[in-house]
Amino acid sequence: MEEKYLYKFNWDCSRQGEVEGLFVATESEVEYAIGKEAYFGEILGKHSEVYGTIEEGEIKKVDIDSNAVGQVAEHLGETWSGYNPLHYIKYDCQVCEDRYSGEEMHSTEEDDMICNYCQKEKSEKR
């Protein structure tokens, strides 16, 4: 099992404000997120439509021992404050080719990403 670390996320959205988060993830989860599109919706107010590509340097590892992070995560979960950008990444369904958030996808393997809707349909046909 891969170690988890504490990460800090920050997007400066100029006049609208900032999107920040403190969350727990593995190094591979954060590496995967770099270069991916994230859609947050209207989190900075009506008509704000916050979205974009997560770039290098926008997610930074906090220098805290992974064991300590694991102990605290048992009580606080994986999102400690603000927004966890990993929850807002859009993934392409390999079946219908629509884009969905990670919570709407069935598989966690990058090469086998199927949305919950296609997975349900696939299960019903069996």
pLDDT in tens, 16-74: 899 999 999 999 999 989 999 999 999 999 989 999 999 999 999 999 999 999 999 99
Contacts of 37 (CB under 8 A, 6+ apart): 51, 52, 53, 54, 89, 90
| Predicted TM-score (pTM) of this structure | 0.79
Within its chain, how far is the Cα of 40 from the centroid? 10
CA atoms of 53 and 89, how far apart (whole Å): 9
Q: What is the pLDDT of residue 109?
A: 52
pLDDT in tens, 7-27: 999 999 988 899 999 999 999
Placement of tokens 């219908």 in the chain: 96
Q: What is the pLDDT of residue 52?
A: 94
Residue 16 carries which DSSP code?
A: G
**Which of the four pLDDT bands, split at 50, 70 and 90, describes residue 111?**
low
Least confidently predicted of 26-35, 73-82, 88-97: 88-97
